[in-house]
Structure 1
Amino acid sequence: MLARRFHAPVVMPMDTEVSVLRDAVVDVDTIGRVTYCGPAATAPGAGDTPTTWLTGILMPGLINTHAHSAMTPLRGMGGDVPLGSWLKDVIWPAEARMRPSDAGAGMRLGCIEMLQSGITTSAEMYFHPEEMVSAALEVGSRVLVAPAYLDLPGIGWREALESIDKWIDSDGLRFGPADRVEICYGPHSAYMLPMAALEATAESAKARGALVHIHVAESRDEDREARSAYGSVPQLLDKVGLLDGRLLAAHAVHLSPQDIQLFARAGTGVAHCPGSNAKLASGVAKLSALRAASVPVGLGTDGPASNDDLDLWEEMRLAAMLSRLEAEDAMALTAKDTLLMATREGAVALGRSDLGTLEPGKWADMVHISVDGPQFSAGLDIPDPRMLSTLVWAVGSRAVSDVWVGGERVVVNGEPTRTDRIAAQRAAAEAAQYLAV
Structure 2
Amino acid sequence: MVTRLAAPVLLPCDLSCSVVRDGVLDIAADGRIAWCGPRSAAPALPASATVRELDGLLLPGLVNAHCHTPMTVLRGMGGDLPLMRWLTEVMWPAEAKLDASDVRAGMVLGCVEMLRAGVTTSVEMYFFTDAVTDAVLAAGSRVLLTPGIIAAPGWDRLGAWQQMLAEVSARIDADGLRHGPGERIELGYGPHAAYTLPAEALPAVAEEARERGALMHLHLAETTGEDTAQRAEYGSVPRMLAALGALRADSPGRVLAAHAVHLDAEDIALLARHRVAVAHCPGSNAKLAAGTAPVMALRRAGVPLALGTDGPASSDDLDLWAHARLAGRLARLASGNAAELTAADLLLLSTRLGAAAIGRDDLGALEPGRWADVVHVSTDDPAFLNLDDDGGLVSNLVWAGGGRLVRDVWVAGDQVLAEGEPTRVDRGQAQADARAVAARLRAS
Query: So what's the TM-score if we normalise by structure 2?
Result: 0.96
* Aligned partner letter, 2:241: L
Partners of 1:220 and 1:309 lie apart in 2 by 25
Query: Which residue matches 2:118?
Result: 118
Q: Which residue of 2 aligns with 1:349?
A: 357
Equivalences for residues 105-144 of structure 1 within 5 A: 105-144=105-144
For the Cα contact (< 8 Å) 1:269–1:348, is it kept in 2? Answer: no
Q: Which amino acid aligns with 2:13?
A: M
Aligned equivalent of 1:321 = 329
Q: Please tell me whether the aligned partners of residues 70 and 105 of structure 2 are also in contact (alpha carbons under 8 angstroms).
A: yes
Deviations, residues 226-264 of structure 1 (Å, cap 9, x unaligned): 321112111112223332321010000111111111111
Q: Which residue of 1 aligns with 2:320?
A: 312
Gap regions ≥5 residues in structure 1: none
- 2:409 equivalent to 1:403: yes
**In the aligned structure 2, how far is the partner of 1:18 from the partner of 1:227?**
40
1:224, CA displacement in angstroms? 4.3
- Residue 308 of structure 2 corresponds to residue 300 of structure 1: yes
Q: Report the Cα distance in structure 1 between the residues aligned to 2:114 and 2:94, rounded to whole angstroms.
A: 23
Aligned partners of 1:226 and 1:19: how far apart in 2? 45
AA matched with 2:418: V
Opposite residue 400 of structure 1, the aligned amino acid is V
- In the aligned structure 2, how far is the partner of 1:21 from the partner of 1:327? 32
Task: Return the match for 2:397 from 360, 383, 391.
Answer: 391
Aligned match for 2:160, one of 156, 171, 178 = 156
Code of the aligned partner of 2:62: L
| Counterpart selection for 1:257 from 242, 265, 279 | 265
Q: SS of 2:203's equivalent?
A: helix
| Residue in structure 2 matched with residue 83 of structure 1 by the alignment | 83
Aligned pairs for 1:259-274 (under 5 A) are 259-274=267-282
Look up the match of 1:67: 67
Provide the residue aligned with 1:221 in structure 2: 225
Given the alignment, which residue of 175, 182, 192 partners 2:179? 175
DSSP-derived class of the 1:396 partner = helix
Give 2:285's match in structure 1, choosing from 277, 280, 285.
277
**SS of equivalent to 2:96:** helix
What is the rounded CA distance, in whole Å, between the counterparts of 2:211 and 2:273 in structure 1?
21
Amino acid at match of 1:46: L
Which runs of 5 or more structure 2 residues have no equivalent in the other structure?
none
Aligned to 1:420: 426
Q: Distance in 1 between matches of 2:344 and 2:403?
A: 18
2:204 counterpart of 1:204: no
Mapped contact 1:223–1:254 kept (Cα < 8 A) = no
One-letter amino acid of the structure 2 residue matched with residue 5 of structure 1: R
Q: Which residue in the other structure is 1:20 paired with? A: 19
Give me the identity figure in percent: 54
2:204 and 2:246 in contact (8 A); partners too: no
Matched residue pairs, number? 434
3-state secondary structure, aligned to 1:373: coil
Q: Is the 8 A contact 2:195 2:227 kept in 1?
A: no
TM-score between the two structures when normalised by the length of structure 1: 0.98
Question: Deviating runs (4+, > 3 A) in structure 1?
Answer: none
CA distance in 1, matches of 2:163, 2:263: 32
Match of 2:33 in 1: 34
**Deviation of 1:374 (Å):** 1.8
Match in the other structure for 1:190: 194
